[in-house]
């Protein structure tokens, strides 16, 4: 499955995406907001890429013009009370620094959310941002997310306070 926007092809990860995954995963500016430890080796990047390849909710953002991977969007399902149905998804996303501030994520996230709404009838999307991650907060508000609540992460996840945002498709 490929989702397209004016600038992007949003697709599943492929085995030849190792370099881009390494660039994203070894950059502390990108991994810290994702609450990940930066990769220390190519082997870590390769293991992460293998995980991304098996995850139907992990998307590579690639430029239409060059096919270059410039970012990542991952969705984690939130189960409904029946513990089977998906009630919504939590979004995580990152763009390589050279591709930030070009409106790519502003078009990628709505396209992905529309895809999930049309194919799975999902109407709830959540995202958490560290309080100092103003760029992501600004993006989410621009896209129509509403600030929902703040919570402190457990110590094993760093213990920082995050702001949760929620988007409801009506």
pLDDT band with cut points at 50, 70 and 90 for residue 131: confident
Question: Can you tell me whether residue 24 is helix, strand or coil?
Answer: helix
CATH code, 98: 3.40.630.30
pLDDT of residue 140: 93
Is pTM, for the whole model, over 0.75? yes
Q: Could you list the residue range(s) of the whole structural domain that residue 132 is in?
A: 3-168
Our CA dihedral for 72, 104, 135, 29, rounded to 10 degrees, sits at: 40
Q: Spell out the alpha helix ranges (H) of 11-133.
A: 18-25, 28-31, 42-54, 104-120
Instruction: State how many domains the chain has.
Output: 1
pLDDT-based confidence at 170, cuts 50/70/90? confident
The answer to whether the CB of 122 falls within 8 A of the CB of 88 is yes
pLDDT digits (tens, 9 = 90+) for 83-126: 776 678 899 999 999 998 999 999 999 999 999 999 988 889 99
């Amino acid at each position: 499955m490929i989702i397209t926007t004016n600038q992007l092809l949003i697709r599943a990860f492929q085995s030849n995406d190792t370099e881009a995954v390494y660039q994203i995963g070894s950059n502390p500016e990108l991994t810290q907001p994702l609450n990940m430890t930066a990769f220390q080796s190519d082997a870590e990047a390769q293991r992460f890429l293998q995980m991304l390849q098996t995850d139907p909710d992990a998307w590579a953002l690639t430029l239409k013009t060059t096919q270059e991977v410039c970012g990542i969007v991952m969705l984690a399902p939130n189960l409904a009370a029946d513990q089977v149905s998906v009630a919504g998804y939590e979004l995580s996303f990152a763009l390589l620094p050279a591709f930030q501030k070009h409106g790519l994520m502003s078009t990628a996230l709505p396209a992905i959310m529309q895809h999930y709404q049309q194919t799975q009838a999902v109407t709830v999307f959540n995202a958490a941002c560290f309080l100092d991650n103003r760029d992501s907060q600004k993006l989410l508000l621009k896209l129509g997310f509403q600030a929902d609540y703040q919570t402190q992460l457990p110590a094993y996840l760093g213990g920082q306070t995050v702001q949760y945002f929620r988007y409801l498709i009506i």
